[in-house]
Structure 1
Amino acid sequence: MRHPLRGAGVFVVALLGAAPAFATSTGITGQSGKDGVTCSTCHKGGEMPTVVLEGPTTLEPGATGQYTFIIRGGAAKTGGVGIAVDSTAANLQAGTGMKKLGNELTHTAPQAFTGTELRFNFSLVAPSTDVTLTVFGAGNSTNADQGSDGDRAASTKLSVKVGNGSPVVDPVPGGEGDGGGGCTAASSAPVWALALMALPLAARRRRQR
């Protein structure tokens, strides 16, 4: 006699095996490439897509810039995205088909390609101070089978100068790279002073002879 739960057990195992694919279908954080990790950690075997971040590379402090993350090629059926920025003072705002998790942006569900291209629009509110930001983005091009095989992700980044950008550190006076002569010039002053002081003494000695 067949046990009535045997088939159910197989079904449960099947569901558990598919869990990672379903769990990430609504987006997760930490996959933007900022820390060297993308969706390709799990999604493998597919053709590598190309990705690009488009938008202004300069912003005034406190200004809002409009950006687009584009995935081209790969399996090109559906895709997902992860966006992050390297400053907590910058504010990312989600566009259509995206949501914010913590300080990052991701997809709400796998989005369908239009032809061989998929676009995610989002905004970046710049900090109120001068700084140079790096925006990180990774996109996964999938074959829409809800599994992890036959998919592939790629990542890119974009530098955004806010105001005057990050401050340039001035060389330490007297240190390496100081154009003022540094220690050499400073140490030569006492030598000239000693030489001038020695002139009256030498003249006095001549008169005594």
Structure 2
Amino acid sequence: MQRPNANPQLLPNGFSYQSRALSAQKSLDLFYYLQQNLCWQQPNVTVYNKTGPIPRLQCFISENNIEYGYSHSKLIVEPWPDVLLAMRKRLERHLNQPLNSLLVNYYRDGNDTMGWHSDDEAELGHQPTIVCISLGAERVLKLKHKASNKVTNLKLHSGSCLIMSGNSQRDYQHAIAKQTTLAHPRISLTFRLIKR
């Protein structure tokens, strides 16, 4: 895996993007391995007093004493598969940044989504670094500045790496919107440091 660099496309401060962090073949192989071997969950969340399953599948990987949840929902903790532990260690070396947890999102098709949010939970710290590796179908990540509501669209290619750091979570929300004509699945790996 190469060191992620800023993309020539203009991105807001705190965001850097490399379109080819993994080769096409490695991306494909890893996608199918994870699709078939991770223990996928679909927790219920409560939003605006309505409770229902999230519109995607998830898997949370970390050491046993680290938990993660949101919207009053805790995810079951899974152990590190060797291939993802090796990727985590390479990222930690490249970024000189510890990463002890991984949230994996599985978007089965274009109807699966992620609503507007910031990764600003207290356990992630003041200026968290989130490293996102995309596998499978291309999806558009929307970045919205909280003060101006200006939206930037970033197409996430298979094998790409997006790093969100600095004040990115303080200043921006992000979302994966519906793409109803898209029939293909996508997996995103979001590495992070959860403070104990």
TM-score band w.r.t. shorter chain = 0.3 to 0.5
Give TM-score, length-normalised by structure 2: 0.35
Give TM-score, length-normalised by structure 1: 0.33
**Whose radius of gyration is greater, 1 or 2?**
1
Q: Structure 1 or 2: larger helix share?
A: 1
Q: Which has the higher contact order (CA 8 A, sep 6+)?
A: 2
